[in-house]
Chain A
Amino acid sequence: MKCELCHKADAETAIRHEIQGEIQELYVCQGCARQTAAPPASAPSAPEAGQPPPPPEGMEMVPLMGMILDAAFEIVGRAMNLAEPACPACGILRHEYRKQSRLGCPGCYTAFSKELDAAIFDLHRATQHVGKVPQRAQALWQRRQLEARLAEAIQEQRYEEAIVLRDELRRLPGPDAKEGGPS
C-alpha cells in the first residue's frame, strides 16, 4: 500500500500519533516516518551524539516486519485493523484467511498475491499453471485484460489503439459472469 501521508512511496512503517487524546495509526513511508518523528524545532534539548532522536511525546515508532515476520504482523496488524490488507472483492482481512487457511474468493489471489505467490511456490514448487484451460473462463479473462487496456488507452488518448482494442473486445463472446473473478 502507499504511504498515507505523501501517497507516493510504498508504506513500510506504522506510526502511532496522538491527537487530542486520540491515538491515530498510519502506514507511512520511511521518509515521512523520519520527518514526522523528527523533534520539533522548539525541542527542549538536542539528542546526545550517536543516539537516535527520541520520539516526540504521544508518538512512537512501531517496526513492522510485514511479510518477513508474521508474528509481528499479527500483533501489530490486529491492533491496526484499518490498515490491514483486505481483499477488495470479498472484504476478507489478511489475518482472517490466515487463521482458517481458506481464501475468501477468487479475487483474494490478486489482493494477497505478494505473500500467496511465495506460499504457492512452497506448496507446489511451481509458479505457472500447465494443463486444462476452460474456454469460458479464458474468454472472461481475455475480456478483462482487453477492457483494462482499452481504459488505459482512452485515458492516455491513444485513440487508434483504443479502436483496435474495442474491435477485439467485440469479437469476444459476450460477458455473462459476475465481476471480481479470476485474477
Chain B
Amino acid sequence: MMLTPENQADAPQPAVPAEAATIAMSCRVRLARNLAGERFPDWATERDRERVLGAVREALSKEAPELSMVPVSGIEAQERDILCESHLISKDLLKRAAGGGMAVARDGTVCVMVNEEDHLRIQGFAQGLDMQSAWRYADELDTRLERRLTYAWSPRLGYLTACPSNVGTGLRAGVMLHLLGLRLLGEIEAVVSALERMRLLVRGIGGEGSEAAGQIYQVSNMDTLGIDEAGIIRRVTRICAEVVRQEYNARVRLLQESPLVLVDCLARSLSVLQNARLLTTAEALEFLSALRLGAAMGLCTRLKVADVDSLILMMQPGHLQKGLGTAMTSDERDEMRADFLSRKVARVKLKC
C-alpha cells in the first residue's frame, strides 16, 4: 500500500511485520498541562515557578509516591547529560534553573518535567510501536494528578498551553523510526514529504530543529485540537506502522536488487568503527546506524539490534564520561569514543 493522504483515514489496521521492533525503536506520549491562574513558565517569576513546583511535588507525593521529585538545581552536570541523552528530559528544562524539576518512575515508563515550556509535561514511554502502553502510562498519571491540581482548561479549547500549537488535548504522540533502508534506496524524501502532507511532524533524533542523524526520525502528530486522544494515538500508530512496512520492504528490496550497495555501506561502517582513532558523536551515530541495519537483517555475526541500541546510548558524551568515570574535553571524548567502539565491535564480522 502506498503512503498517501487518501488512504490513511480509518483504513483497517494492517499487520505489522515481526521486524517492526527493529525499525520502530521506541515511542512516547507527552501531555502538556498547566495550572489554572498561574503564569506559564517562560513569563513566570522564580517565585511563581517555585510555587508551581511545590504544588506538583505535593500532588505527586499524595497521588504518585512512587515518583520522587528532583529539582533541576539538584541534578549534577554529568547526570543532566545522561538524562537528556536518554530522552527523559529536555535541554530546555535544564536551562530552567529555578523552579525546574523532574520526577521519573523506577521502571522508566513515566517521567514528569515541571516548568519546562508548560507547568507539566507528563511523558509515557514504551518500546517499538506500543503506543497504547505509552498513552496508558501518561494518562493514568495525568488522571491521578488531576485529583489534586486544577488544570487550565476550557470546554472550547481544552487544555490551555503556553504555545497554541499544543492547545486542546496537549498530546504529542511520537515514534522513533530507523529508516536507513529507505535512505539507501533514495526514497526517504518522498516518505517524509508524504508524512508532512498528512500533518505529521518529522524531526531528527534530538527533537525539534534537529537533523535526522543516523537516519533516525521522530514522527509525531501535528494537530492537538479537534481530535481526541484515542484518535491521535490510533492515527499515529497506523501511519507509523505503514512507514515500518515500507522500510521493511525497502530492506528486502535492497537485499534482492542492490546487495552491493547494502554490503558496501555495512563494510565501510564496520571498518571505520573498528579502525578509527577519533569519532565525533554524529559520525559514530552514522556508522552505528548502518551496523544496526546489518544486525536487523541478520548480516552481522555476534551483533544484535539491542547491542547497537546500547552502543548508540553509551557512546554519547554523558554516558561515555560516566562509563569511564572522568570528565573529558570534546577532543578527548572523540578519542575515547573511537577506542570504546572499536573494542565493542572488534569481533563483529559481516556474513556477506
A residues with CB within 8 A of B: 90, 92, 100-106, 109, 116, 119-120, 123-138, 140-141, 176-183
Contact = CB atoms under 8 A, between A and B. Distances in A.
Interface residues of B, number: 43
B164 interface: yes
Contact of B154 (A90, A104, A141): A141
A20 to B, nearest CB: 38
Interface of B: 34-40, 42-43, 117, 139, 142, 146-147, 149-160, 162-165, 167-169, 171, 199, 222-229
A25 B48 CA distance: 35
15 contacts: A100-B42, A102-B162, A106-B36, A109-B160, A124-B168, A124-B222, A131-B169, A131-B227, A132-B142, A134-B159, A138-B155, A141-B155, A177-B36, A177-B37, A177-B150
Contacts of A129: 154-159, 168-169, 225-226
A103 B40 CA distance: 7
A126 B160 contact: no
Contacts, number: 142
Given A124-B226, A127-B156, A130-B228, A176 B168 contact: no
B39 A105 contact: yes
A137 B156 contact: no
Given A124-B224, A127-B225, A177-B35, 12 more contacts: A90-B39, A105-B37, A119-B164, A124-B226, A125-B226, A129-B159, A134-B159, A137-B150, A141-B155, A181-B37, A181-B152, A183-B157
B162 A130 contact: no
A-B pairs, 3 with minimum CB distance: A126-B226, A181-B36, A129-B158
A85 to B, nearest CB: 16
Contacts of A90: 39, 43
Contacts of B35: 177
B180 to A, nearest CB: 32
